[in-house]
Amino acid sequence: MAKLTSRNEDYSKWYNELVTKADLAESSGVRGCMVIKPYGYAIWEKMRDEMDRKFKETGHQNAYFPIFVPKSLFEAEEKNAEGFAKECAVVTHYRLKTDPENPQKLIVDPEAKLEEELIVRPTSEAIIWNTYKSWIQSYRDLPILINQWANVVRWEMRTRLFLRTAEFLWQEGHTAHSTREEAVEETEKMLEVYADFAENFMAIPVVRGVKTPSETFAGAEKTYCIEALMQDGKALQAGTSHFLAQNFSKAFDVKFTNKEGKLDYAWATSWGTSTRLMGALIMTHSDDLGLVLPPNLAPIQVVIVPIFKGEEQLAQISEQALNIVSKLKQKGISVKFDDDTQNKPGWKFAEYELKGVPIRIAMGARDLENKTVEIARRDTLTKETQPIDGIENYIENLLKTIQQDIYNKALNYRDEHITKVDTYEEFKRILEEKGGFISAHWDGTEEEEQRIKDETKATIRCIPLDSQPEEGVSLITGKPSKQRVLFAKAY
Amino acid sequence: MAKLTSRNEDYSKWYNELVTKADLAESSGVRGCMVIKPYGYAIWEKMRDEMDRKFKETGHQNAYFPIFVPKSLFEAEEKNAEGFAKECAVVTHYRLKTDPENPQKLIVDPEAKLEEELIVRPTSEAIIWNTYKSWIQSYRDLPILINQWANVVRWEMRTRLFLRTAEFLWQEGHTAHSTREEAVEETEKMLEVYADFAENFMAIPVVRGVKTPSETFAGAEKTYCIEALMQDGKALQAGTSHFLAQNFSKAFDVKFTNKEGKLDYAWATSWGTSTRLMGALIMTHSDDLGLVLPPNLAPIQVVIVPIFKGEEQLAQISEQALNIVSKLKQKGISVKFDDDTQNKPGWKFAEYELKGVPIRIAMGARDLENKTVEIARRDTLTKETQPIDGIENYIENLLKTIQQDIYNKALNYRDEHITKVDTYEEFKRILEEKGGFISAHWDGTEEEEQRIKDETKATIRCIPLDSQPEEGVSLITGKPSKQRVLFAKAY
């Protein structure tokens, strides 16, 4: 197995190689669309199940809405439509027929043209609010707290596996409320659900913040986000929660009778995370040997590799190994005993390092004698010898330790890469030399934001929710500012 | 709440009303596409999770493939392409732009025409076998046992909620094997997984069988199916498992080196079930009052309704009720205590009957005194009084009994509606008067099959796997036949 390109050599190449070699995903025969392979999908399933649990715990229900949005509905909320118009895959016909000039071929049947074109959903606010119209008459029908797991399509010109693909999998929450306050509260609650999930399940530290107007979701009044930092110093938006105010209820005429008996438009939120999180996972934790998976997300948490000469030794080791397998399974730990005889232990070690299996147990003849095993951690690459007796408890605790250590490592890296700067010169120097988040003053205008973006490629990732008021002057215009914001180059 | 149309009066209207009134699904603003509402989706989730568990237990893994199939890939397997060509939604453009004549409107940007049209997948054999090509080189790469949960689109002209919709949710398994025998074994194994799921989880008895050539999946050598019988005497195909032989591996040139070192084409299967199963569920068990759900599929298995006068009584009943709730939850039973004060008990009774909640517990003042509750079964509409003490064990057993009774009832109905006939006159009479499956001899030709279909609307649902050899003569042509087949009108 050829080694991965190292991160230092070419970060982008390292990422692409890792995604394909670790069997997470690959490009498909369809421009910009990916195939999520079983190993990658198993990780996504773990993310999905945990998020789904959290959504249900916070009172949400799943539902499913059509993949197609008729053009007339799509354009009803103008800003939203404008924001996505350039990325829309459009269905115009509903039938193929045999090519009269070449009976081996099929052509689009020109007689089967749709009266109205259908957009393949890039996001579902339009189709969902058109549905909510008939569901909402009174404040008693509210709140509506619905989530959908679905595929969406955004026709991107430059695509990268997981990070930016023409089709991706995601969840989109769409809620309706009777008051502004309740909708804002929901928006903030779901941001916290995302942040908690990212940090405590994916071991990815995130900054909770609010987007500037230029980065706000098309159709929202306010977009909250969680921003993570990748190992190359670039930021990645890991989830967004939008306060949509009454924009969609007005566009789709969704009115209800409130407690006072007056008609009002419903208040809305939407929030989403996607398979992009797979990219965040990979780029936050992995190294030059391959994936590093937090135990919570690892399809295989422990692998046992026998080191043997001849069948008799293998049989002896297997007996002990299967005993350990059974004890670990009883604790709900997913474990694989790799007794394949085609590949040598060294090959297996490299393979499971590439796949990010958190703990590797090696068992040889001497271990059998000593009633011990060798335990190797994927995250630290350290090894130690432990007695077989009680190994299941040791492993159970070690998995928790690894989960926490992986998070702490990412947190340290992130915190070391938030730099306060006060001049534009320093800003450019830090961005070039160190990368990461740069905490700086901004004059609050789109002009300054845009100029910085044009000149440095850095954007305002967010106005952090926990940032303290601080008097200062903005980077370029020198105008007064009351708060620092976070800049970074981003995925 | 207005009553449902009765089944006797208008079965089709009964079905449509039930689906919408029980909050399972509704039509959307997109022609032929449905919205699956939270209550309906919760039932689908239970089906999905159980099937998913069974697939994984039998060694399958999930993955995800693109929703779009480029036309050139789509037409590679000719019969498959021909079979689906008339139902294809086709993406031709990838961008909208502002209408120069009306800046409020968006139009399809004629400059953003795709070089090659994309078909929205009606099924994924083409895109998946195009992918398998690079995954399969040696017999060591086989078998590949993959399943996908996805949405698919088939442009149907006449649609009905769940039963026939332009977009539906489904799972599709796609496996690759090194020998014909192994692929046939997989095809049969998955049919049995479906049959077991239908009977033991959904409480729907099914006939396992094989389709005639005219009803075989486009691109398959042999299609196995499970066929269920609805209460109006019509059959419903509840799942199919296809032996695809080497049709797709040849179309996509998927060759591998076998154990003997020779090149061979891979052997394929595919198998699927869809949200159509929701229709089967509804039409197998439900009655004129609404849904009847087998406990395995009920989002709410038990509802507790307090019968009270005044707040004090409600408080007393609530205390007892919440105690029962907690005991039931400990047993993993999903239970709802409906202490809403807006609606009267009678209204609630009707509502939960409509929604198919298997067990209703009513608690009034006298019950409190006697330390009893009233238990009503949704399936039999019977009531009984039981002591509160030990109620959780009683309910746990009752849920199992109900699951079994619902199955037995459907099984009896089904078995009573399999009629052996030996003449075409009798065939037509039974079909008209009684419906159900008709077991009859057939001469094995497409001509006779087609003529019976044209004249009676009945099709051969399957050649049952368990049917015994029997000499006979066919219905119309009087030619010799060695086996009976099952005819029925079908959804």
pLDDT single digits (tens) B408-427: 999 999 999 999 999 999 99
Residue A125: list chain B partners with CB under 8 A. none
- Structure confidence at residue B164 as a pLDDT band (50, 70, 90): very high
Under a CB-based contact definition with an 8 Å cutoff, are residues B398 and B273 in contact?
no
Q: Do B28 and A66 touch (CB under 8 A)?
A: yes
Q: Which of B38, B78, B155 sits opposite A61 (nearest CB)?
A: B38
Lookup: tokens for B186? 């997989």
Q: Quickly tell me which residue has 């219905």 as its tokens.
A: B475
Which of A122-155 are b and which e, b meaning 16 or more Cβ less than 10 Å from the residue's Cβ? Answer: bbbbbbbbbbbbebbeebeebbbbbbbbbbbbbb
Evaluate if residue B2 carries a pLDDT over 80: no
Q: Which of A33, A87, A127 sits opposite B28 (nearest CB)?
A: A127
Q: How far is A260 from chain B (nearest CA, A)?
A: 18
Q: Could you tell me which of B358, B371, B364 has the C-alpha nearest to residue B294?
A: B358
Instruction: State the average pLDDT for chain A.
Output: 97
pTM of the model: 0.97
Q: How far is A1 from chain B (nearest CA, A)?
A: 16
Strands (E), A200-266: 207-210, 222-229, 235-245, 255-257, 263-265
Q: Do B85 and A67 touch (CB under 8 A)?
A: no
Residue A92: list chain B partners with CB under 8 A. 90-93, 108
Identify the pLDDT of residue B1: 60
Q: Do A75 and B105 touch (CB under 8 A)?
A: yes
Identify the pLDDT of residue B29: 87
Identify the pLDDT of residue B157: 87
Q: Do B96 and A119 touch (CB under 8 A)?
A: yes
Residues near A353 by beta carbon (within 8 Å), at least 6 away in sequence: A289, A290, A360, A378
Under a CB-based contact definition with an 8 Å cutoff, are residues B182 and B263 in contact?
no
Long-range CB contacts (< 8 A, 24+ apart) of B419-422?
A: B420/B484, B422/B472
Q: Do A131 and B30 touch (CB under 8 A)?
A: no
Residue B86: list chain A partners with CB under 8 A. 95-97
- Concatenating the DSSP letter of every residue in A473-484 gives E-TTT--EEEEE
Q: How far is A22 from chain B (nearest CA, A)?
A: 14
Q: How far is B23 from chain A (nearest CA, A)?
A: 11
**In the predicted model, what is the mean pLDDT of residues A28-38?**
95
Residue B150: list chain A partners with CB under 8 A. 151
Residues near A369 by beta carbon (within 8 Å), at least 6 away in sequence: none
Q: Do A146 and B38 touch (CB under 8 A)?
A: yes
Identify the pLDDT of residue A206: 98
Q: Do A131 and B28 touch (CB under 8 A)?
A: yes
- Structure confidence at residue B371 as a pLDDT band (50, 70, 90): very high
Nearest CA in chain A to B78: A104
Q: Do A106 and B81 touch (CB under 8 A)?
A: yes
Evaluate if residue A268 carries a pLDDT over 80: yes
Q: Do A30 and B68 touch (CB under 8 A)?
A: yes
**In the predicted model, what is the mean pLDDT of residues B339-356?**
96
Q: Do B36 and A95 touch (CB under 8 A)?
A: no
Q: Which of B67, B92, B105 sits opposite A93 (nearest CB)?
A: B92
Q: How far is A359 from chain B (nearest CA, A)?
A: 22
Q: How far is B323 from chain A (nearest CA, A)?
A: 21
Whether ipTM > 0.95 holds is yes
Per residue in B53-104, pLDDT (tens digit) is 999 999 999 999 999 999 999 999 999 999 999 999 999 999 999 999 998 8
- Structure confidence at residue B30 as a pLDDT band (50, 70, 90): very high
Nearest CA in chain B to A149: B150
Residue B170: list chain A partners with CB under 8 A. none
- Structure confidence at residue A1 as a pLDDT band (50, 70, 90): low
Residue B28: list chain A partners with CB under 8 A. 65-66, 127, 131
Q: How far is A307 from chain B (nearest CA, A)?
A: 23
Q: Do A30 and B127 touch (CB under 8 A)?
A: yes
Which of A205-214 are b and which e, b meaning 16 or more Cβ less than 10 Å from the residue's Cβ? Answer: bbbbbbbbee
Per residue in A301-347, pLDDT (tens digit) is 999 999 999 999 999 999 999 999 999 999 999 999 999 999 999 99
Per residue in A89-104, pLDDT (tens digit) is 999 999 999 999 998 8
Up-side HSE of residue B415: CA atoms within 13 Å toward CB?
Answer: 7
Identify the pLDDT of residue B104: 87
Q: Which of B64, B87, B91 sits opposite A89 (nearest CB)?
A: B91
**In the predicted model, what is the mean pLDDT of residues A181-201?**
98
Residue B27: list chain A partners with CB under 8 A. none
Q: Do A92 and B92 touch (CB under 8 A)?
A: yes
Identify the pLDDT of residue A157: 87
Sign of CA dihedral B419, B422, B428, B433: negative
Q: Which of A29, A41, A127 sits opposite B130 (nearest CB)?
A: A29
Q: How far is B465 from chain A (nearest CA, A)?
A: 33
Q: Do B69 and A30 touch (CB under 8 A)?
A: yes
N- to C-terminal Cα distance for chain B?
29
Selected for mutation to probe chain B from A27, A33, A35 (highest B CB count within 10 Å) is A35
CA pair distance B372, B362, nearest whole angstrom:
10
- Concatenating the DSSP letter of every residue in B300-324 gives SSEEEEE--SHHHHHHHHHHHHHHH
Evaluate if residue A401 carries a pLDDT over 90: yes
- Concatenating the DSSP letter of every residue in B81-140 gives HHHHGGG--EEEE--EEEETTEEEEEEE-TT-EEEEEEEEPSS-HHHHHHHHHHH-SBGG
Q: How far is B112 from chain A (nearest CA, A)?
A: 9
Q: Which of A35, A74, A108 sits opposite B66 (nearest CB)?
A: A35
Residue A64: list chain B partners with CB under 8 A. 35-36, 41, 169
Residue A63: list chain B partners with CB under 8 A. 35-38, 41
Evaluate if residue B329 carries a pLDDT over 70: yes
Selected for mutation to probe chain B from A62, A67, A162 (highest B CB count within 10 Å) is A67
Map out the domains of chain B as residue ranges.
Answer: 11-285, 302-398, 417-489
Residue A70: list chain B partners with CB under 8 A. 29-30
Sign of CA dihedral A359, A363, A368, A374: negative
Q: Do A96 and B119 touch (CB under 8 A)?
A: yes
Q: Which of B81, B87, B93 sits opposite A92 (nearest CB)?
A: B93
Per residue in B246-269, pLDDT (tens digit) is 999 999 999 999 999 999 999 999
Under a CB-based contact definition with an 8 Å cutoff, are residues A422 and A454 in contact?
no
In this structure, the strands spanning A459-464 and A480-488 are: antiparallel
N- to C-terminal Cα distance for chain A?
29
Residue A77: list chain B partners with CB under 8 A. none
Residue A169: list chain B partners with CB under 8 A. 64
Per residue in A101-137, pLDDT (tens digit) is 998 899 999 999 999 999 999 999 999 999 999 999 9
Nearest CA in chain B to A38: B63
Per residue in B95-145, pLDDT (tens digit) is 999 999 998 899 999 999 999 999 999 999 999 999 999 999 999 999 999
Evaluate if residue B192 carries a pLDDT over 80: yes
**In the predicted model, what is the mean pLDDT of residues A412-416?**
98
Q: How far is B383 from chain A (nearest CA, A)?
A: 32
CATH number belonging to the domain at A302-398, selected among 3.40.50.720, 3.20.20.140, 3.40.50.300, 3.40.50.800: 3.40.50.800
Q: Which of B30, B81, B96 sits opposite A90 (nearest CB)?
A: B96
Under a CB-based contact definition with an 8 Å cutoff, are residues A338 and A353 in contact?
no
**In the predicted model, what is the mean pLDDT of residues A161-189?**
98
Q: Do B42 and A62 touch (CB under 8 A)?
A: yes
Evaluate if residue A391 carries a pLDDT over 90: yes
CATH number belonging to the domain at A417-489, selected among 3.40.30.10, 3.40.190.10, 3.30.110.30, 3.40.640.10: 3.30.110.30
Q: Do A67 and B131 touch (CB under 8 A)?
A: no
Residue B38: list chain A partners with CB under 8 A. 61-63, 146
Evaluate if residue B381 carries a pLDDT over 90: yes
Architecture in CATH for domain B11-285 = 2-Layer Sandwich (3.30)
